[in-house]
Chain A
């Protein structure tokens, strides 16, 4: 990586599109995949990023690194991709189907007995490396309509107004999606983190 960075520094003012895949392909792909949670989609936006970079080559001022410049394009491409995906899925009535509240709460709005996966070992230390793997996995199981707003908000740090604008959704819809994402993630992560085997292990 350092070698690559050095190379970046040395060629700050040089744009070499034919080396882009070799130098920046993995980096941009990981970034995209972390946001889009789908290798095909990530490959697609990385490709779009490179092609856009070639198209607007003249806009590269040479003041920053090519990686940072390409990342800027990639971020834009991710938002564009999410918007397309969001539009595509809008017709689908996922809202109710993917509301985890139904699984977790009874009619009065109280926790269902035995439905809360984290209730068995609520005080266990949450170790980050393991948890990240599970969280990452669980993100992929979330409905994309929920995961996308969650990712744009938490990972990309976009504010609510921006997200609503990009995805053409109302603030209340955004809020609903965010909440369901958190609930769904907690349900998923809780299920895997606090599995009965582990719980019994800890009990011992």
Chain B
């Protein structure tokens, strides 16, 4: 016999259907005999039924199932929901839509948002919010589309993962992180993220951002250098490129302040909109410093270690490590100074039109070779902008070189510091341009003053040759007559030298064949400048004509031959500065025979003319006047004053900095240093392509 206690244990057990046949039979027998046990079984069955009904009523939302939430509870829970929504919006990259768009955002986040079937010209809306219009770009991770936001009636850019990336969980993670990081960076030069969501039809993630156009910094750099190659280099374009570079620096400085390292800086990742705004894109490879401001807010990137990144950049994402830093190429530790290198690499591209490692990568198309290039980047010296283009401004090259130093510590401390240096160069560029223009004016003034002196000389020699005594001396028949006319001519010549302190001598010579005979010669005393003397007949010279004289004889009446010479009547193989004079001669014709009778030659003290010109204040720090005829330095004026001892030396030896200008002046009247604004050159041809004077000026 079962006890009552044991029997109702079996009753309890029977509700769960765990009774054996024997237990069931024993229980039934007991229930027949015990009224209380039967009462318990009946009551327990009713209770079980009631509980099931209670459960069912609550599930079916029958109001009699009990009171609802109190108003207090509703308010409290409502507040916590509101808070959670805001938190969710913030954390789920929906921050830009918090204000006033909460409802809409959640609705959109779960709706099928993207209409994917894109037909050219077919922009119908079929219940989706975004209509894809055309593809803007594609990368290893995803594709970017221009899309129409039908609700707000505006164009947006949509980034979605491509088919290949959708297969990779790591790519999903990267895509997610990219949106997450971009959403956290609120800066005018970081692309604003509008929305992040998942298309419920496809289950694929996407995010929308401001449509900033398709033009990138890479396009602007290409345009600038294409124009330069076509000879239409526009400094304004360089100025704009550098301004864009400053904006990129500011965006990166901001990201660094939030503990984010971009790691993939290149001109292709910088968008330029139509109104000059610069937007840094593609934060898919960014690294978030654990101790940075966002370190705790953004999911880790353990699958994207620095070493893995290097591999990723080679194979998966970028294809070529054109802008890669040595530490990235070697798989070393990446820090914010890696981005400084990246910024330097962008500056490199702006200055040269080439990516820093472009030469290393030329012709490389397989993975193994790329690994060799990585090794080369990691081990070899960083390329210099002037290796690619010689006309890169030297100061900018220095900035670029510092930013791209192999040693991280040698780079700029921060992106802001780099920006400041470039900005200072740009500001100085205006001042430098102004100073250069002043120097250019000085150079041109020097040339025009000397040119005026030459014209004056030519005018005077022509005038002298037409004086009556010149003609009379041809026809004289008596000694007395000759003496009288000679006396008159000496008087006039002396008057000329008195009036023109730069003139050294005036000579009237008779030419017979290749022989000359001086008829009248008035000259200035070689040491006592004020003394002017007429050379006595007994001291007048004769002999073989110089090349200069021969050239004068070849001229037509009133045609002046002007040149530089070591002396009017001799040819000097190794002239000295003192010997180089400015000489002008004109032939004198016998009216009777209509043949050349002689020549009138004026010799001008060029040294004196030059000293007079140089003896004043100049903007230019260094001025050199060189003679083409003998390829020697004639004068060199430094900021300390004239330096006499440098004269008579080949200019290439004395002042090699002017070599570029000297070369440039061979075919031009002017040399302008567009690149560095350091050197200016002007040329005065006395006899084109043969005899000339170069005026070379340089800044400090």
A residues contacting B by CB (< 8 A) are 1, 13-18, 20-22, 25-27, 29-31, 33-35, 39, 43, 46-47, 50-51, 54-55, 57-58, 60-62, 71, 101, 104-105, 108-111, 116, 118-119, 122, 126, 128, 131-132, 135-136, 139, 150-151, 153-156, 160, 175, 178-179, 182-183, 185-186, 189-190, 193
Contact = CB atoms under 8 A, between A and B. Distances in A.
Nearest to A127: B46
Contacts of A13: 110-111, 200
The 8 closest A-B pairs by CB, nearest first: A26-B68, A109-B3, A109-B5, A122-B39, A155-B55, A34-B58, A126-B46, A135-B50
Contacts of A126: 42-43, 46
B12 A118 contact: no
B77 A21 contact: yes
Interface string B20-46: 000000000000001111111011101
B78 A21 contact: yes
Interface string B71-87: 00110111011101100
A140 B82 CA distance: 33
Given A132-B53, A189-B43, A50 B5 contact: no
B427 to A, nearest CB: 51
Nearest to B91: A55
12 contacts: A15-B109, A30-B67, A31-B58, A46-B73, A62-B111, A105-B3, A128-B53, A154-B51, A155-B51, A155-B52, A160-B16, A179-B13
Contacts of A190: 39, 43
B3 A178 contact: no
Contact of B69 (A17, A21, A51, A151): A21
Contacts of B43: 118, 126, 186, 189-190, 193
Contact of A15 (B13, B77, B106): B106
B44 A185 contact: yes
A29 B38 CA distance: 37
Interface centre among B65, B80, B81 (most CB of A within 10 A): B81
B219 to A, nearest CB: 37
A25 B72 CA distance: 12
Interface residues of B, number: 62
B66 interface: yes
B50 A26 contact: no
Chain B binding surface, main DSSP class = helix
B614 interface: no
Contact of A46 (B8, B47, B58, B69): B69
Contact of A34 (B8, B48, B55, B107): B55
Given A21-B81, A179-B9, A131 B58 contact: no
Given A17-B106, A46-B69, A54-B85, A31 B39 contact: no
B59 interface: yes
Contacts of A136: 50, 54, 66
Given A18-B81, A35-B55, A51-B81, 17 more contacts: A17-B85, A17-B106, A21-B69, A25-B68, A25-B73, A29-B68, A30-B63, A30-B65, A34-B57, A54-B85, A110-B5, A116-B40, A126-B42, A132-B57, A179-B12, A182-B44, A185-B47
Contact of A139 (B4, B37, B51): B51
Contact of B54 (A50, A132, A183): A132
B15 A14 contact: no
B6 interface: yes
B198 interface: yes
B610 interface: no
A135 B16 CA distance: 19
A192 to B, nearest CB: 11
Contact of A20 (B46, B58, B81): B81
A107 B46 CA distance: 28
Interface of B: 3-6, 8-9, 11-13, 15-16, 34-40, 42-44, 46-55, 57-59, 61, 63, 65-70, 73-74, 76-78, 80-82, 84-85, 88, 102-103, 106-107, 109-111, 198, 200
B208 to A, nearest CB: 16
Nearest to A134: B50
Given A15-B110, A30-B68, A50 B81 contact: yes
Contact of A132 (B16, B50, B68, B76): B50
A50 B65 CA distance: 21
Contacts of A43: 69, 73, 76-77
Given A13-B110, A16-B103, A109-B5, A186 B47 contact: yes
A178 B35 contact: no
A62 B68 CA distance: 26
Contacts of A1: 61, 63
A131 B48 CA distance: 11
Contacts of A17: 81, 84-85, 106
A15 B200 CA distance: 13
B65 A34 contact: yes
B88 to A, nearest CB: 5
Given A62-B110, A110-B5, A135-B47, A33 B38 contact: no
Contacts of B76: 43, 47
A96 B106 CA distance: 52
Contact of B36 (A55, A118, A135): A118
A30 B6 CA distance: 37
B84 A54 contact: yes
A154 B55 CA distance: 8
Interface centre among A39, A118, A189 (most CB of B within 10 A): A118
Contacts of A160: 16
A25 B77 contact: yes
A136 B40 CA distance: 18
Nearest to A129: B64
B110 A60 contact: yes
